[in-house]
Amino acid sequence: MTTQAQRLDIHAVDPSAYEAVLAMEKYVGASSLDRGLYELVKIRASQLNGCAYCLDMHNRDARKAGEDQRRLDVLSAWREAPGLFTASERAALALTESVTRIGEAGVPDAVWDDVAREFDQRTIVALLMAIAAINVWNRLAVSTHQDLPDVA
C-alpha cells in the first residue's frame, strides 16, 4: 500500500491556527446538540470529503460512545435505511450533505424545512457550526495529507 507523506503539520507550524478551529469545536461541544448526532454529522461530512483521518477518528469515537456498528456501516447510504435513523437524524444528515456540498445547490428549502421541523433555532445554529467545523477539519487534513494516528 502506498501512502502519501504528510505535507504540513499545521499544529506544529502555527498552533494558533489549530486553536481557531478548535474554538468552533468547543462551541459545539458546549451546545445542546446531541453527541451521538454530532458524531454522525462528522462522519457523514468526512465521507463526502474523503477525509480518512477524520473517518478513522470519528468512527472510533462513535463506537466508543456506543453507536451501533450497523448504523455506521450504512451511514453513507442512510436514505436507503430510513428505519435505522430517526427523523431528526435524517434531517441533520440531509443538512450536512447540503452544507458540505453547498456549491452544488445551496440548501434546498425542503432540507431546511425538515431541519426547522425537527430542531429549535438554537440547535440549528449548533448544527450549522458542527457542520462548518468538520468541513474545516476535513479540508485541513485532506489538503495536508494528515497522517492517520497510530492506534493500539
Chain mean pLDDT for the chain: 94
| Phi, psi angle pair for 48, to nearest 5° | -65, -35
Does residue 113 form part of some domain?
Answer: yes
What distance in Å separates the CA atoms of residue 63 and residue 12, rounded to the nearest whole number?
Answer: 29
Give the total number of structural domains in the chain. Answer: 1
What distance in Å separates the CA atoms of residue 114 and residue 76, rounded to the nearest whole number?
Answer: 19
3-state secondary structure of 3: coil
Does residue 87 form part of some domain?
Answer: yes
Does residue 7 form part of some domain?
Answer: no
Does residue 52 form part of some domain?
Answer: yes
Q: Please state whether the predicted TM-score (pTM) of the whole model is above 0.85.
A: yes
Cell, residue 116? 426547522
What distance in Å separates the CA atoms of residue 25 and residue 107, rounded to the nearest whole number?
Answer: 22
Cβ neighbours for 135, distance < 8 A, ≥ 6 positions apart: 45, 49, 99, 100
pLDDT above 70: residue 3 = no
Does residue 86 form part of some domain?
Answer: yes
Does residue 8 form part of some domain?
Answer: no
Q: Give the model confidence (pLDDT) of 75-98 as tens digits.
A: 999 999 999 999 999 999 999 999
Does residue 9 form part of some domain?
Answer: no
Q: Give the model confidence (pLDDT) of 14-60 as tens digits.
A: 999 989 999 999 999 999 999 999 999 999 999 999 999 999 999 99
Does residue 104 form part of some domain?
Answer: yes
What distance in Å separates the CA atoms of residue 126 and residue 119, rounded to the nearest whole number?
Answer: 10
Domain carrying residue 39: 15-144
Cell, residue 151? 492506534
CATH code where residue 112 lies: 1.20.1290.10
